[in-house]
Amino acid sequence: MPRYIIALTGASGAVYALRLLEELLKQDNSEIHLITSDAARIVMEQELGWDCQDSLALSLQRYLPPGKIFFYDNSDIAAAPASGSFICDSMVVIPCTMASISAIAQGSSRTLLERAADVMLKERRPLFLVPRETPLNSIHLRNMLTLSEMGVSIIPAMPAFYHQPRTIEDMVSFVVGKVLDAMQIPHDLFQRYAGQIKK
């Protein structure tokens, strides 16, 4: 059974997280362990127009298709994903704040998200980060280089245009498709470039 840790931070790009969760829940027998921060709830409210007064978990359950999903608060540092004995296929932080990238790069491990990411690094399991929107300063770039050198996949939320997107959903699907590609999960979220055909 595929098991994934998905973490949502307070970075802009909540729609990317929602789309990824939808795609992962389409897989047979997939198990998702979702870590959310208070800031992620605020972003969901602002960017998606959700009312998350109860909890982000309850709001997501209303919008997501049925599936095996476990919810964790980012302050719950004793949760299962904080342990190296918790086996999972990969972890994705989407969208990822620069504060989270900094903490992961420096190994601070003060929250569940940071501890889970640190576990992925020490156990040499796949970790994928989807940084928030531009611009980036030199500190951000150095932190991402540090993580890249440790084997972390950095997948910026940068849509391409060779597939001729017509809607925001098309651009979101492209970015999420790139995350799924990195996770080696088949999808049909965008039309792949086939090269020019010479006659």
Q: Give me the tens of pLDDT residue by residue for the chain, a chain 199 residues long.
A: 899 999 999 999 999 999 999 999 988 889 999 999 889 888 988 898 887 666 667 777 777 877 799 999 999 999 999 999 999 999 999 999 999 999 999 999 999 999 999 999 999 999 999 999 899 999 999 999 999 999 999 999 999 998 899 999 999 999 999 999 999 999 999 988 877 666 6
Binding residues for dimethylallyl phosphate: 162, 178
What are the residues facing 174 on neighbouring strands?
A: none
User: Does residue 8 fall inside a structural domain?
Assistant: yes
Q: In what order do the strands lie in the sheet with 3-8?
A: 68-73, 31-36, 3-8, 90-96, 127-131, 153-154
How many distinct structural domains can be found in the chain? 1
What pLDDT score was predicted for residue 54? 61
Q: Please tell me whether the overall predicted TM-score, pTM, comes out greater than 0.95 for this model.
A: no
What pLDDT score was predicted for residue 38? 86
* CATH number of domain containing 10: 3.40.50.1950
User: Does residue 199 fall inside a structural domain?
Assistant: no
What are the residues facing 90 on neighbouring strands?
A: 4
Binding residues for FMN: 10-12, 37, 97-100, 132
Binding residues: 10-12, 37, 97-100, 132, 162, 178
Q: Which domain holds residue 33?
A: 3-182
Which of 80-106 are b and which e, b meaning 16 or more Cβ less than 10 Å from the residue's Cβ?
ebbeeeeebbbbbbbbbbbebbbbbbe
